[in-house]
Amino acid sequence: MKEQQAEKLPRPGVEALDEILGKPFPVLDDGFVRVVDYMGDDAAVVQAARVSYGAGTKKISDDRGLIRYLLRHRHTTPFEMCEIKLHVRVPMDAWRQWIRHRTASVNEYSTRYSVAIDGTQRTGPREWRTQAAENKQGSGEALDPEVGTRLTESEHEFQTLARGIYNDRIEQGVAREQARKDLPLCTYTEAYWKIDLHNLLHFLSLRMDSHAQKEIRDYATIIGRKIVARWVPQTWEAFEDYRFGASHFSRIETEILAALGAGDGEQACAIARENGWLRESKKGGWVRHRERQEFEAKLSQLNQMPPW
């Protein structure tokens, strides 16, 4: 007799996902994401975990509890047992960030074999964003709409010109692979993108994050909330608890929290001082220290005050 019983037939499916199979979710002004196919569900994660951990998983009687346990302790391999294939339409600029995730399978529309898609992402007058002051990589507030209006007009003219130049080259007989060289980065492309659930969650944890660029964040948010939430609802719930709402403390931070928990503010300060967090500035106050500042922000979320 074998360790595992025969699987139930027929092939497992997820009704809530089957309902939206092939349906495009619009993103940005002219992009979309849609599910082409998938394999597995929450039960497939549980099934894989039980073959691995055998008797050890019997104590966790319900699937939800087991899935939470796996995510909490970063037992990631069972989540690789689910796979999804999406068809996306996305500006090349966002796509550049997207395919930095190396664990997916990709087939992209080729502008060597075919004429480039005649579509660019357009930015409305109120959609221009300022450079963030604190966050070196990100965006801040919206720009003044009057300036925005001018930028939008200028963009529109420029994109029209860019397409004209591309079309002119094609008409003159220039090879497609060369004609495309001056297309704007925000020209739309399309691709099939296939990835397992573990790596998809990793992608989402980075790209749904507030530090991700708005454009790719829009795609990631649709994928997370409209697709993954339907596909594997128990995994999604656990993911939101353990990745998004979670907080993390370094060894130093944990030691300071423990000192605060024991009511020993002096000890907390001593730990901070030892680690170079508390150097007095000439102007009074502490010299700017990134780790200390990040910790203060986290303390504030816990409704606690720094002891220094």
Binding to a copy of itself, residues 15-74 (CB under 8 A): 18, 21-22, 24, 32, 34, 36-40, 44, 47-49, 51-57, 59-60, 65, 68-69, 72
Does 113 participate in binding a copy of itself (rule CB under 8 A)? yes
Does 255 participate in binding a copy of itself (rule CB under 8 A)? yes
Of the residues 175, 274, 279, 287, which one makes contact with a copy of itself according to CB under 8 A: 175
CB of 280 to a copy of itself, least distance (A): 19
Q: Closest Cα to residue 104, out of 90, 122, 86, 92? A: 86
Give, in order, the Cα–Cα distances in Å from 133 to each of 12, 95, 211, 291. 50, 26, 13, 18
CB of 284 to a copy of itself, least distance (A): 22
Give, in order, the Cα–Cα distances in Å from 166 to each of 120, 177, 274, 283. 13, 11, 61, 58
- Active-site pick, 207, 251, 273, 292: 207
Of the residues 16, 126, 160, 182, which one makes contact with a copy of itself according to CB under 8 A: 182
The three-point CA angle 141-143-149 to 5° equals 150
188 within 8 A of 90, measured Cβ to Cβ: yes
List the x/- string, 190-219, binding to a copy of itself by CB under 8 A.
Answer: xxx-x-x----------------x------
Of the residues 25, 78, 152, 224, which one makes contact with a copy of itself according to CB under 8 A: 78
Q: How many CB atoms neighbour CB 70 within 10 A? A: 25
Does 294 participate in binding a copy of itself (rule CB under 8 A)? yes
The three-point CA angle 183-186-191 to 5° equals 95
Q: Is residue 207 among the annotated active site residues?
A: yes
Binding to a copy of itself, residues 123-142 (CB under 8 A): 123, 128-132, 136-140
20 burial (CB, 10 Å; 0-12 / 13-18 / 19+) is middle
Does 223 participate in binding a copy of itself (rule CB under 8 A)? no
Binding to a copy of itself, residues 272-291 (CB under 8 A): 290-291
Residue with tokens 């894989």: 48
The set of catalytic residues is 207
